[in-house]
Amino acid sequence: MELIRFTKTFLLNELIALAKKTVGPDVLFETRTGSEDDRPVLGVTNGRSAASGALCFVDRPPPPESLAKLESAVVMTNRQIAPLLPGCPLIVTEDPRAMFIDCLERIRTARGFAPFSSLIEAAPGIHPNARIHPGAVIEEGVSIGDGTQVAAGCVIKQGASIGNAVTIRENTVIGTDGIALYKAEDGRVLRFPHLAGVIIGDHAEIGASCVISRGVLNATRVGRDAVIGNLSNVGHAAQIGDKVWMSVGCMIGGNTAIGERSTLGLGVCVRDNLDVGRDCSIGMGSVVVNDMPDNHSVFGNPARRLPDVKAGPDR
């Protein structure tokens, strides 16, 4: 499971004190942690796939398969969900998502987070054989592998981990924040901090003027040998599988997964939070609004199954 580590571990009682300070004295706040107030809290994680020893929030009934993972995490939740989590250390408040966002901002200011998610073990660094154009901007906390080429005008932001022999063409931005807003119950509009970065596999090719947003709590990933055409946008925490081929101007919504060897024609749009299977073919200009099983092909707006669509080369 993916974890965004703190630069320095919290004890649970320290985290509870920070949360109390965040919500203020007039907001519902209680803890249900038993005798575990001195347990270490290593970082933050997504409540849908919680990592052990991490802080997360849950404001919707969790699926049964998530319960065991949540028991090893620290969960911010509300009174309605708390009875569904009897074995979990809990911080209970009226608006757990808002408290979580506020706490992340305080932690980022006070201590900070590691640049990479737990999926990346190596320290940041640029391989001496990487070819970086002098007109590119590479922030601190970036990893670039052997033989990778970064063209003029590119911006590679903190938390990006780019593999070996990757090609990144002109004016592409990797690791910018996506759009992740939340209207809190007190009326505030909060922006979720993007902490998880971008991971690009070996031999991928990213076209000119593309944008690949970093993830919030799960990294955005582009697989080995994937091709992303010019002027394409990949939303936060999207998962682009190995050998996927995307033509010019494709738009992939946040948290959407595109399976291995799938092909997308010119100008395809895929809605957020979808699963597109392996070996799928999506015809040019299509707008995908539903999940796609493996080996399906679709065309149109909204996209419908059309068995003889051939969107790109065999991958």
**Which of the residues are catalytic?**
236
Contact present, 274 and 258 (Cβ < 8 Å): no
CA 22 to chain centre: 25
DSSP states along the chain: ---EEEEEEEEHHHHHHHHHHHH-TTS-EEEE-TT-TT-EEEEE--GGGPPTTEEEE--SPPPGGGHHHHHTSEEEE-TTTGGG-TTS-EEEES-HHHHHHHHHHHHHHHT-B-SS-TT--SPPEE-TT-EE-TT-EE-SS-EE-TT-EE-TT-EE-TTEEE-TT-EE-TT-EEEE----EEE-TTS-EEEPP--SBEEE-TT-EE-TT-EEEPBSSS-EEE-TT-EE-TT-EE-TT-EEPTT-EE-TT-EE-TT-EE-TT-EE-TT-EE-TT-EE-TT-EE-TT-EE-S-B-TT-EEETTTTEE-TT---S---
Q: Determine the distance from the C-alpha atom of residue 149 to the mean position of all C-alpha atoms in its chain, rounded to a whole number.
A: 24
List, in order, residues 6 or more apart from 250 with CB less than 8 Å away: 228, 229, 232, 233, 264, 266, 267, 268, 269, 270
